[in-house]
Amino acid sequence: MESNRLNMLNGHFSAQPTFNARSVTAKSDDDVVIVSMARTAMTRAKKGPQANTGPEAMLAPVLKDVLKKANNFDPKGVQEICIGNVLQPGAGSTTSRMAQFLAGIPDTTPLYGVNRLCSSGLQAVATITNSIRAGEIECGIGGGVESMSLFSMMGQVDPSALSDQVYEHD
């Protein structure tokens, strides 16, 4: 069982066919290109080596690495950052902003968070992509950060504060 899960996860890091029938279409002026990516290690919630690591401490080195892998891109050139998070209050915008500063990206670069129940980080990348495609920015960073250890999924909804309609629904 564990072997199957490990093989599936390792498959995410191997070369994959394109999603457009294994062909690359002609270049277009409105193409959006991802030039760098980075991620934290995946560890066990509540037990793994990052169980007590704050989201800002996980995200800051990822942001630094993204800039480094993009030919040491000047942090001042980042025009917008969008980070997805579901468990932290305010979609984690405060801790993500702290990570931005820790990574050396200036306070003149706006950062905002998105909260989507499942795939908030993917939504953040899509949001930055759309901003580039619309001509609002030329360079941005989209990503996600989550701590399943430091924030409770059970604390998101207070049952006593819900309307009676929630309980009457069949």
CATH number (domain holding residue 99): 3.40.47.10
- Measure Cα distances from 10 to 14, 16, 22, 32, 118 in Å: 7, 12, 21, 27, 21
Q: What is the pLDDT of residues 42-64, one digit of tens each?
A: 888 788 888 888 899 999 999 99
Rounded to an integer, what distance in angstroms lies between the CA atom of residue 12 and that of residue 124?
Answer: 20
Q: Report yes or no on 163 lying in a domain.
A: no
- Residues in CB range of 59: below 8 A, 6 or more apart: 83, 95, 96, 99, 103, 143, 145
Structural domain harbouring 55: 51-67+77-146
91 within a domain of the structure (yes/no): yes
pLDDT value of residue 167:
85
Domain count, the chain: 1
Q: Is residue 117 one of the residues assigned to a domain?
A: yes
Average pLDDT, the chain: 86
Within a domain: 34: no
Instruction: Say if 135 falls within a structural domain.
Output: yes
**Least confident residue range of 10-19, 34-43, 75-84, 98-107:** 10-19
pLDDT at 14 over 70: no
Considering only 15-29, 75-89, 134-148, which range has the smallest mean pLDDT? 15-29
- Whether 36 maps to a domain, the answer reads no
Q: With respect to residue 102, please indicate whether it lies within any of the assigned structural domains.
A: yes
Q: What is the pLDDT of residues 87-146, one digit of tens each?
A: 888 778 999 999 999 999 999 999 999 998 888 999 999 999 999 999 999 999 999 998
Per-residue confidence band for 23, with pLDDT thresholds at 50, 70 and 90: low
Does residue 164 sit within a domain? no
| Mean pLDDT to the nearest integer, 148-161 | 77
